[in-house]
Amino acid sequence: MTISDIERLIEPAEAADEAVLEITLRPQNLVEFVGQEQIKQNLTVAIQAAKKRNESLEHILLYGNPGLGKTTLASIIAREMRASIKITSGPALEKVGDLAAILSNLQPGEILFIDEIHRLNKTIEEVLYPALEDYSLDIILGKGPAARTIRMPLNRFTLIGATTKLSMISNPLRDRFGHTYHLNFYEIADIERIINRNANLLSVRLDEASRPLIAARSRRTPRIANRLLKRIRDVAEIDNNGLIDTHVTGKAFGMLGIDEFGLDEIDRRLLSFLIEKFNGGPVGLNTLSAAIAEEMDTIETVYEPFLLQIGFLERTPRGRRATAAAYSHLGFDAPKAQTLL
């Protein structure tokens, strides 16, 4: 979420404080970045080699679920390359002129980060091809038979694209990235390390027993871990003189409606709907969306990946289905047999 996004949701003074807080929690270099070890190793080699040759990095595509650190990693890459970074998103680039203005103003070695790059429209995407390959921009002057194209050279730059939906990026665009990295869900041990680091940055007193409780409910996602830590800190400030212990942690999770697996009200509503209304499924995504009043894209991107990861949901050729583990967790009698239809 950008500063402008935050400002639309809360008061300006609060927005500035929240934005600064988010920035301070983000790691500043690859050493501080916890998890994703293979990606870090490959990036370290690529960055060192590019700096040794005094060249820009090849273009980089980062993909994975929301909250896993794609934007943070882009900022770290820029810092490691000692380069400035310009940040935009696919939906923000509405016209060819929007992209052309950004590309023509990039300085040598600068980095352009495009979030949600899968949402670029086709016209803008085609303009991006020569910019990525030849570092040039094709500009059309005039209309109709009299139209002509001129090619404007660009400074060499690095594009870092981020997406939650790799399949929605066209092959021609995907092939123009020299590096493609998939950010996985984090190990619980890594989430604990992130919580411990950020508790220190926030000057929060956190006892040893509470850290694994928070990590276990963080859906293996750093962004969620940070959010939970701040909400529990709020409860600790009011109820326990700022100390986060197991009692405060349990109370905060009760207030937030988050259970021991990290499931919230919408997760449970989704699974309960499958079990109670459709005998566990299978149910199509469109039906699920209408039943729980959530957009299909939100279900598919935010809720479904984690439920699949922990084995509470499965995909079949005919739709989504609750597993026996989901029945057990929600207190329903498990079906005697489940067969794919």
Task: Give all domains of the chain, ordered by start, each with its CATH number.
Answer: 33-182 (3.40.50.300), 188-256 (1.10.8.60), 265-330 (1.10.10.10)
Taking each helix axis as running N to C, give the angle between helix 188-201 and helix 222-239, from 0 to 180 degrees, rounded to the nearest 10.
50
Task: Name the amino acid, one letter, at 168.
Answer: M
315 is in an annotated binding site: yes
pTM: 0.82
164 is catalytic: yes
Residues 289 and 304: beta-carbon distance below 8 Å: no
pLDDT in tens, the chain (341 residues): 343 433 333 344 333 444 444 556 788 889 999 999 999 999 999 999 999 999 999 999 999 999 999 999 999 999 999 999 999 999 998 888 888 889 989 999 999 999 999 999 888 888 889 899 989 887 766 566 666 677 788 999 999 999 998 989 999 999 999 999 999 999 999 999 999 999 988 888 999 999 999 999 999 999 999 999 999 999 999 988 889 999 999 999 999 999 989 999 989 999 998 998 888 888 888 888 888 888 888 888 888 888 998 999 998 888 899 999 999 999 888 776 554 44
Nearest Cα to Cα of residue 57 among 26, 28, 34, 82: 82
Q: Are 132 and 180 in contact (CB under 8 A)?
A: no
Annotated binding residue 53: no
Which of 209, 282, 281 minimizes the C-alpha distance to 244?
209
Closest CA to 25 of 269, 206, 200, 285: 200
List the catalytic residue out of 158, 163, 164, 221.
164
Active site annotation includes 5: no
190 is annotated as an active-site residue: no
Inter-residue contact 53 to 61 (CB < 8 Å) = no
What is the C-alpha to C-alpha distance for residues 207 and 133, in angstroms, rounded to an integer?
A: 52
Q: Write down the pLDDT at residue 126.
A: 86
3-class secondary structure for the chain? CCHHHHHHHCCHHHHHHHHHHHHHHCCCCCCCCCCCHHHHHHHHHHHHHHHHHCCCCCCEEEECCCCCCHHHHHHHHHHHCCCCEEEEECCCCCCHHHHHHHHHCCCCCCEEEEECHHHCCHHHHHHHHHHHHCCEEEEEECCHHHCEEEEEECCCCEEEEEECCHHHCCHHHHCCCCEEEECCCCCHHHHHHHHHHHHHHCCCEECCCHHHHHHHCCCCCHHHHHHHHHHHHHHHHHHCCCEECHHHHHHHHHHHCCCCCCCCHHHHHHHHHHHHHHCCCCECHHHHHHHHCCCHHHHHHHHHHHHHHCCCEEEECCEEEECHHHHHHHCCCCCCCCCCC
Cβ atoms of 112 and 81 closer than 8 Å = no
Structure tokens at 200: 């220190």
Which residue's entry shows tokens 């590019």? Answer: 50
Q: Would you say 161 is a known binding-site residue?
A: no
Find the catalytic residue in 115, 217, 219, 249: 115
Place of tokens 């949600």: 116
Q: Of 217, 219, 220, 223, which is the active-site residue?
A: 223
Is 123 tagged catalytic? no
**Is 267 a residue of the active site?**
no
Of 243, 308, 318, 309, the closest CA to residue 284 belongs to 318
